[in-house]
Structure 1
Amino acid sequence: MLLLLALAAAPLSSYAAATSSIPQSAWTQLNSTVGGRLHQGIPFARSCFTHAAAGVGGTQNAAACATIQANYINTTLLQDNLGGYINTQWETCQATSEQCLLDFQNTSDPAAFNVPSRICSQGSVPDYGIKITGASDVLAAYAFSKAHGVPLVVKGTGHEYKGRSGAPGSLAIWTHGLKSITNAPKFVPTNCPKSVAPRTAVTIGAGVMYEELIDFADANSLTIPAGGCISVGAAGGYPQGGGHSMFSNTHGLAADRVLEIEVVTPRGDHLIANQCQNTDIFWAMRGGGGGTFGVTLSMTTLTFPATQVNGVFAIADNSVPGQRLAFFQWMVDNAISLAQQGWGYYLYPTIPGIAMSNTVLSQEEAEASIAGLKTLITQNFTGASVWEMTLEPNYKTYYPKYVTNIAVPVGVAMTVTSRLIPVANFQTEKSRAELAQAMTALIDEVPVALGFGVAPFVHGNNNDTSVNPAWYESLWHLALATTWNFNETSSSLSTIYSDLSSAIDPFRALAPNSGAYVNEADIYEPDWEQSFWGDNYARLLSIKQKYDPNHLLDCWQCVGWNGPKDARYKCYINIDGV
């Protein structure tokens, strides 16, 4: 189908100062066009505040506030609200400290919401959002943006780390209500020839979360790998940016497993994209980043049979001198062999500890494979330690026992930075020692550090995705993070961002030609085009220009973005002249 928008485009380089400048009759008409599903974007904690800035919707309500306070760090209530974001700085205007936040450590603390200086402000919460039910709603959003110059954002669950799903004075295309799940055991992509072999797959709406998908997969004796948090949308920015999981080593990135995408582009196309038709945007949306090329309505992804999973969880005592370095040295010395044997894992350097998975080896083979690690932790190390290894009957029982140990922060302001660590860094004694030393040193530099043994090493690069090719030449993805509370000042935020970015510099130096994971990346990633997409960037940019010539979709450090001086980014904190 081709539904070309005929409306003349308003210049998107100079957005309306506020959506309030648009006649109310225009919003009323938009609401009618989308069947009454235009929602006002109300800051998540609005009901707790006595005072609110002009234009902020909602009212103070004690009962509603009590619910918010009790569920402030609960993903379910957050993701069901247009004004809720997993990491709260994306609800705020960080540059001006305009916000509507509670104290996540004590949600009843009146200093956050019940003093004269605390006024609930709109921040970066979209002024309005359309709860999408189909292509016509997306087309209506595009038309409204072109007619009135309102910036658009694409929002699913609000679980993303770069602020791409919020912007001041914006209209959100809210996909969270697209909840369909259909089993497709003999899936052949649309309009492919009979020579294309059927695959086991599932077709999901863009609002389906992994929590729902894991339950569906279990009920149908399937395995569908998820990331570290089950509140993530399974068809949104996660697969569109790559999407790693504990099973990525053997089962590929989420982008590798996408077989078909239903997408509505800013140009006005309602397309089915796969290996046989609309192949350019199909390639771009499997790694090129969410909120960039079009709005996904549904996605078909490869599934695997239900399988047993070898799971390991181990902790060493970091209070004993030398044990942290010894642990990292063992991991880097054995990283290549572990990958070759099918292991995926999350490293917790601060503990230090590790959670692992393997679906390739038998229980006996798995035990033999990591006997050295067990000996190191339970016999060679002293102090308190933990070693647990089980054979779980399926992915659903494995996931909560081993994956959710990551405890992704919710209802907290948090920023991350990352680096892919190539196989080359594990191939010589010198490079392994340098990596182990760097891992040991960083623990004292940052509050949160995670090492993910999730690169698609065994799977390989055989699906022609647009993710940075460095993913397929790496073993580890290293991520660092820091958090802060509601009362952090704008001036100190610049230091927080800058310090975290500097903390990853030793790994940029160790792996200068690799890159970073776009979904878990530094807000101020240097040389971001090369870092996120490598040699794929030029092709991605040409596809962006084809399907979004008027830049209706634009987001921070996304392919072809308008740059940091665009008005929609006025709430980002500037560091080092960015």
Structure 2
Amino acid sequence: MALLRMTTALQLVTWFMISYVLVSTQASSVYAGHSSTGKCRCLFTEPCWPSKDEFAALEATLSQPLLAPQQLATPCHTSWFLNEECELAQELWVDGWWRSNSSNSAGGTEQPTFAAYYAPDGHIEACFLNTTLGYPCLQGNIPPIGVDVRSVKDIQLAIDFAAAHNLRVVVKNTGHDYLGRSTARNAFLIWTHHLKSIQYHDTFKPSGAPNGTVYTDAITLGSGVQWQEAYDAVFARGRIIVGGIAPGASVGAAGGWVQGGGHSALAPQHGLGVDNVLEMTIVTSDGRYHVVNSYQEPDLFWALRGGGGGTWGVVVSVTYQTHPSSPILAAYMIASVNAPTVDAGTADIPTFRALFTELVRITPTLADAGWSGYVDILPSDDTGLPWLSLLYIAPASAPTARSTMQDFFAFAQHLADSARPEEGALYVDLASIDSLSGFAEWELTNFRGKSGEVGVNTELGSRLLPRDLLQSNHTAVADAVLGLGIPHIGFYIVAGGAVSTVDPDSVALNPAWRDALIHVVFSPLWEEGASLDTINAARDLVKKGEAAFRALTPGGGAYFNEASLYEENFQQTFWGSHYEKLRAVKKQYDPIDLFVVPEGVGSEDWDADLNCRL
């Protein structure tokens, strides 16, 4: 059996501390003496780190044993023979549900990128699934110990312990974070994954609200609930909820997703995730439990809706408004190219460029007709040439939805039929518009039980594209997207409509969301075991993309949950005019800065590792 099952958490931490010092003394020396300055967090392997007895005393007060998180590929390195847990890892490596719910998921990240540690001298500490690469399995960026919280009391005990010992703290539910904010090297983990309570309310009155303030059909989700579980609960009532869309529906429904804003294919119809929150509960760095809403501690409630996950405390629950279900239309199209005279991997193919440019041009028209959803540009596995996948939904009652989409399909087919050989052959497949009973049928058919988007080495860049830009200069947008030279590009209608009608100052989210129509995402990939030079080359592509879109959208913004670690001015990019107010709320509710995440509110006061104050 795997080592994790043979030892207690405290025994494993003791073993790991000895082996870690032997294997990684060079990296450990980076942290030596930090805690003695009075400006730095106390980290694992430092003399100030709590003793085994101190951890044992903490464990005695908790409802669960302490965690000893390990890398997801650890079982493949614990013995020379293939064991059951390793077989599961190999089989389900790109399955988001497994990565967040396996027996070892406390140490899992949805993207292996952020489980690895990239040392200043260029070496990488990780645990690769491919053991033939010959690298040792190291802890990397995974915290060595943590608390599996099951109650508010557990959270309070964990926070009090971390504050008393000045520990670096990370908060995690599923690890589904594209900037690695839910993990950190040598830190102390607060794992909310098992806060799985779900309560449906026929009527809901927020705490402290005046008499007569009642919402119907609301649902309260514990911060460990994932969208698969939340959707099932809501669909059973014949309702829908604005939620995240991903293969396997593994994203957390009441954690970082909503605190970062929460986009969705349903957002143009019903607003973003933050626009649908009625109440939240949270434990802050002083150990206090807060019930916050528009009537009770509204400043903290405002900050939690878009101010970024992992920054304000440990969220315990979120109460959302649900919506009636109604029939929808679902549009599907796949377009691929065959252009042997063109260098593989480029999108500079006349037929493909014409197709995408037309899509950009008509996007405002499609959005006005009720369409929302996802377009992805990916390289073909066989040729490396680009192909485009369109997956949109619209209310079946939208009068022009079907005709506007049919017009685009007709354009694509005409382009395919009339293309000259030197322009590249265009193939249009699966161009269809289906009538479905509702969002539930669409989500269950297209995403439930599916794999993908996770388990790969990647980093993201992104930008919000305002509607005015698409209307005034669609060619420049298409050129910028196709000129990225990045394998995966997403072009998502997750704004406009109801998103644009919300008061920009009602939540902490960047007001740029209210002018946006498209969320564009770009993500280079690299193979497991790649050198830091290769990884840095991929990161340079992200920086190139960011520069291109900043030039197109000066003063604009990006989505906090799907962005990059290289924003030149993250304060403006993620929050715009709201940042100074967020700073004030942060100082009020977390004066000791216990909760700090990359490019989060207040992170500019800390070094690059977020371990020492500047």
* TM-score (normalizing by structure 1): 0.88
Partner of residue 540, structure 1: 582
Separation (CA, whole Å) in 2 of partners of 1:77 and 1:426: 39
The structure-2 alpha-carbon separation of the partners of 1:438 and 1:89, relative to structure 1 and needing over 3 Å to count, comes to: closer
**1:378 corresponds to 2:413:** yes
Partner of residue 179, structure 2: 162
How far off its partner does 1:499 sit? 2.2
Paired AA for residue 100 in structure 2: Q
- Kept after mapping to 2: 8 A contact 1:356/1:402: no
The structure-2 alpha-carbon separation of the partners of 1:251 and 1:406, relative to structure 1 and needing over 3 Å to count, comes to: farther
- Kept after mapping to 1: 8 A contact 2:167/2:187: yes
Separation (CA, whole Å) in 2 of partners of 1:453 and 1:404: 21
Select which of 100, 112, 115 maps to 1:88.
112
**1:301 corresponds to 2:320:** yes
Partner of residue 68, structure 1: 89
Select which of 384, 397, 405 maps to 2:441.
397
The structure-2 alpha-carbon separation of the partners of 1:288 and 1:124, relative to structure 1 and needing over 3 Å to count, comes to: same
Separation (CA, whole Å) in 1 of partners of 2:458 and 2:52: 36
**1:357 corresponds to 2:393:** yes
The structure-2 alpha-carbon separation of the partners of 1:36 and 1:501, relative to structure 1 and needing over 3 Å to count, comes to: same
- Kept after mapping to 2: 8 A contact 1:355/1:403: no
The structure-2 alpha-carbon separation of the partners of 1:406 and 1:333, relative to structure 1 and needing over 3 Å to count, comes to: farther
**1:558 corresponds to 2:604:** no
How far off its partner does 1:565 sit? 2.2
Q: Superposed, which structure 2 residues align to 1:468-507 within 5 Å? A: 468-507=510-549
Partner of residue 366, structure 1: 401
How far off its partner does 1:569 sit? 6.3
- 1:112-138 CA distance string (max 9 Å, x none): 3xx3xx221111111112111122111
Partner of residue 191, structure 2: 174
**1:447 corresponds to 2:487:** yes
How far off its partner does 1:408 sit? 4.2
How far off its partner does 1:191 sit? 1.6
Separation (CA, whole Å) in 2 of partners of 1:405 and 1:27: 39
Paired AA for residue 361 in structure 1: S
How far off its partner does 1:71 sit? 2.3
Paired AA for residue 98 in structure 1: E
Paired AA for residue 295 in structure 1: V
Paired AA for residue 354 in structure 2: A
Separation (CA, whole Å) in 2 of partners of 1:491 and 1:369: 46
Residue aligned with 1:245, SS: coil
The structure-2 alpha-carbon separation of the partners of 1:119 and 1:396, relative to structure 1 and needing over 3 Å to count, comes to: same
Partner of residue 32, structure 2: none
**1:47 corresponds to 2:64:** no
Q: Any stretches of 5+ residues in structure 1 without a counterpart?
A: 1-9, 52-58, 104-109, 571-577
Separation (CA, whole Å) in 2 of partners of 1:156 and 1:330: 40
Residue aligned with 1:208, SS: coil
* TM-score (normalizing by structure 2): 0.83
Paired AA for residue 458 in structure 1: A
Partner of residue 466, structure 2: 422
How far off its partner does 1:232 sit? 0.3
**1:339 corresponds to 2:381:** no
How far off its partner does 1:211 sit? 0.8
Separation (CA, whole Å) in 2 of partners of 1:175 and 1:202: 19
Partner of residue 572, structure 2: 530
The structure-2 alpha-carbon separation of the partners of 1:17 and 1:157, relative to structure 1 and needing over 3 Å to count, comes to: closer
Select which of 485, 495, 498 maps to 1:458.
498
- Kept after mapping to 2: 8 A contact 1:228/1:406: no
Which 10-residue stretch deviates more, 371-380 or 123-132? 371-380
Q: Superposed, which structure 2 residues align to 1:260-279 within 5 Å? A: 260-279=279-298
- Kept after mapping to 2: 8 A contact 1:19/1:170: no
- Kept after mapping to 1: 8 A contact 2:596/2:610: no
Partner of residue 18, structure 2: none
Please tell me the root mean square deviation across aligned C-alpha atoms, in Å: 2.4
Percentage of identical aligned residues: 29
Paired AA for residue 514 in structure 1: G
Select which of 8, 11, 15 maps to 2:42.
15
How far off its partner does 1:306 sit? 1.8
Paired AA for residue 212 in structure 1: E
Paired AA for residue 60 in structure 2: S
Paired AA for residue 138 in structure 2: S
**1:319 corresponds to 2:338:** yes
Partner of residue 107, structure 1: none
- Kept after mapping to 1: 8 A contact 2:242/2:276: no
Q: Superposed, which structure 2 residues align to 1:33-44 within 5 Å? A: 33-44=61-72
Separation (CA, whole Å) in 2 of partners of 1:50 and 1:306: 49
**1:217 corresponds to 2:234:** yes
How far off its partner does 1:12 sit? 5.8
Separation (CA, whole Å) in 1 of partners of 2:366 and 2:41: 53
